[in-house]
Chains A and B, each alone.
Chain A
Amino acid sequence: MVGDARLRAERALRTLSDPEIPVLSLHDLGVIRSLEVDGNRVRVGVTPTYSGCPATEVIRRSVVEALESSGFDPVEVLDVLSPAWSSADLTAEGRAKLEAYGIAPPEEPVHSVRALAGGKPRHCPRCRSAEVECVSEFGSTPCKALYRCRSCREPFDYFKCL
């Protein structure tokens, strides 16, 4: 049954997480753009978060492995560039998971240039204080910035608006 195969592929993809922020599934991250199932053949469209993000290659490989071990063959992964990935593509669930994990989620999803120029975390993911300051626009992965909370004095990551 075609419907069963699609469900099987979807289920396989749901098990995959972001290699650098494992608390997020690829679904939460919003990088799976399309899924075409035709018998045992499957094509998945994946979009990179940042142009040079090294996780993209790991993600691509994990998609192939997961689908192959669910019995699909051949598995084709397409690079999708347009529309460009945005932090607004994070699911609401993904945003909540980030915060619970200690990473401040991006400001409310917006596409404007102004948000890019002024975006900052709403509050510290640990103590919820709004007294936060930027330590560096760039963090341990392309998608994050380094912040510090002035109330609890803890440093934390902020998932940037893009």
Chain B
Amino acid sequence: MSEPLADADRARYVLRLADTSLIVAQQLGAWIGHAPALEEDLGLANVALDLLGQGRLLLTYAGELEGRGRDEDALAFLREPADFLNLALAEQPNGDFAQTVMRQLLLDAWQIELFEALEHSCDERLAQIAAKAVKETRYHLRYSSGWVVRLGDGTAESHERARQALERLWPYTAELFDADPLEEAIAADGMGPHPAELAPRWRARIQAVLTEATLTFPPPASFRWYGKRGQHDEHLGHLLAEMQILQRTYPEARW
């Protein structure tokens, strides 16, 4: 028998999921007013809003599990970069539109598999959040895969941009499926899936989109980067500086 999971472990696991949703939401929000067309402005903002909502539900739950009195705002606005546990893929810069929709495709396909698995979590609260989120994520995937196909199978220029985006982001996808001791324990407990279990279906989904987009899988990553353990590059610091400045300058500020 494995050791029963401590609430601190559950909190840390939920925080990982929350932070990935929150950071991607913040990234997509940066496109508002800058997207190539009004429809894309609306599209990216809507995806961001869903992710923000999912992130808030997860952050609130993580705070309750943690039991240290931190609510969603304290967790979002008053933590240092090293305390964030989002996937490194989530914090990769928006880049051009191709890079943003490629990052979104890679993450949407992963979230679908993850949330579908979490619907069967032994943790009822997490299962409820996942059941809600998965329905929204299907729309996100429809959007991101549509754009990756259009760009990949578009002009020589858009194809090249999509190819470069895929090549740049690909190394960060290894982290999605590499389990660490926390995820091993979570899987043994039945709270969440083993990350490696998600890989085959994720790969099949991505493969189908890339084929239609006339793109191919890049070679496997030559490095590993674990944002979920708090290892981040400089992009997260810049993003958080902007996201947190108001709460840090005017603590407890309210609308």
Task: Please provide the chain A residues from 126 to 161 with a CB less than 8 Å away from any CB of chain B in the complex.
Answer: 135-140, 142, 146, 160
Q: Is B54 an interface residue (CB 8 A)?
A: yes
Q: Contacting chain A: which of B63-71, B128-136, B209-217?
A: B128-136
Question: A85 vs B135: C-alpha distance in the bound complex, in angstroms?
Answer: 10
A135 to B37, CA, bound (A): 11
A84 contacts the other chain (CB 8 A): yes
If the complex has contacts A50-B50, A50-B53, are A84 and B42 also in contact, measured as CB distance less than 8 A?
no
Contact of A53 among B47, B53, B138, B139 (CB under 8 A): B53
- In the complex, the answer to whether B139 meets A52 with C-beta atoms within 8 Å is no
Instruction: Output the nearest chain B residue to A136 by Cβ-Cβ distance.
Output: B39
Using Cβ atoms and an 8 Å threshold, which residues of chain B touch A51?
A: 50, 53-54, 56-57, 129, 132-133, 136
Q: How large is the interface on B (under 10, 10 to 19, 20 to 34, 35 or more residues)?
A: 20 to 34
| B39–A52 touching, CB < 8 Å | no
B129 A81 Cβ-Cβ under 8 A? yes
What's the Cα separation between A52 and B26 when bound, in Å? 13
| Closest CB in chain A relative to B217 CB, distance in Å | 24
- Bound together, the chains give a CA A69 to CA B184 distance in angstroms of 53
Given the known inter-chain contacts A81-B129, A138-B42, please indicate yes or no for A52 contacting B142, CB distance below 8 A.
no
Residue of A nearest to B124 (CB): A82
B142-163: which have CB < 8 Å to A? 142-143, 146
Is A116 part of the binding interface, using a Cβ–Cβ cutoff of 8 Å?
yes
CB of B113, distance to nearest CB on chain A (Å): 13
Tell which of B49, B128, B142 touches A50, judged by Cβ atoms closer than 8 Å: B49
Residues of A within 8 A of B138 (CB): 113, 116-117
Q: Does B46 contact A (CB under 8 A)?
A: yes
Residues 175-210 of B contacting A (Cβ, < 8 Å): none
Asked if A81 contacts B42 (CB within 8 A), the reply is no
Are A52 and B52 within 8 A (Cβ)? yes
Contact across chains for B132 and A142 when beta carbons are under 8 A apart:
no
**Are the CB atoms of B142 and A81 closer together than 8 Å?**
no
Could you tell me if B42 and A136 are in contact, using CB atoms closer than 8 angstroms?
A: yes
A81's nearest neighbour on chain B, judged by CB, is B128
Indicate if B62 sits at the interface (CB-CB under 8 A): no
Pick the contact of A160: B43, B49, B127, B139 (CB < 8 A): B139
Residues of B within 8 A of A90 (CB): none
Q: Is A26 an interface residue, CB under 8 A from the partner?
A: no
Residues from chain B with a CB closer than 8 A to the CB of A117 are 138, 142
Residues B136 and A138 in contact, CB atoms below 8 Å apart? no
Q: For A54, what are the chain B residues with a Cβ–Cβ distance below 8 Å?
A: 49
A113 to B133, CA, bound (A): 14
Query: Which of A52, A53, A117, A142 has the most CB atoms of chain B within a 10 A radius of its CB?
Result: A52
Residues of A within 8 Å of B52, CB to CB, are: 52
> Please, which residues of chain A bring their CB within 8 A of the CB of B40?
136
Pick from B25, B39, B56, B142: contact of A146, CB under 8 Å? B39
Pairwise interchain contact B46-A142, C-beta atoms closer than 8 A: yes
| CB–CB B50/A52 < 8 A | yes
**A30 located at the interface, meaning its Cβ lies under 8 Å from any Cβ of chain B in the complex:** no
A50–B51 Cα distance when bound, in Å, is 10
- A121 at interface (Cβ–Cβ under 8 A)? no
Residues of A within 8 A of B25 (CB): 52
Q: Which of chain A's residues have a CB closer than 8 A to the CB of B131?
A: 81-84
Q: Which residue of A lies closest to B139 (CB)?
A: A137
Q: Tell me if A52 and B54 are in contact (CB < 8 A).
A: yes
Contacts of B146 in A (CB 8 A): 137
Least CB separation from B49: chain A residue: A52
* Beyond A82-B127, A137-B143, 5 additional pairs, beta carbon < 8 A: A48-B132, A82-B131, A85-B132, A138-B143, A162-B135
Task: Provide a sorted-by-A list of 12 A–B residue pairs whose CB atoms are within 8 angstroms.
Answer: A50-B53, A51-B56, A53-B53, A81-B128, A81-B129, A84-B135, A136-B39, A136-B42, A138-B45, A138-B139, A142-B49, A162-B135
* Closest CB pairs A-B (n = 7): A52-B53, A51-B53, A136-B39, A138-B46, A52-B49, A84-B132, A81-B128
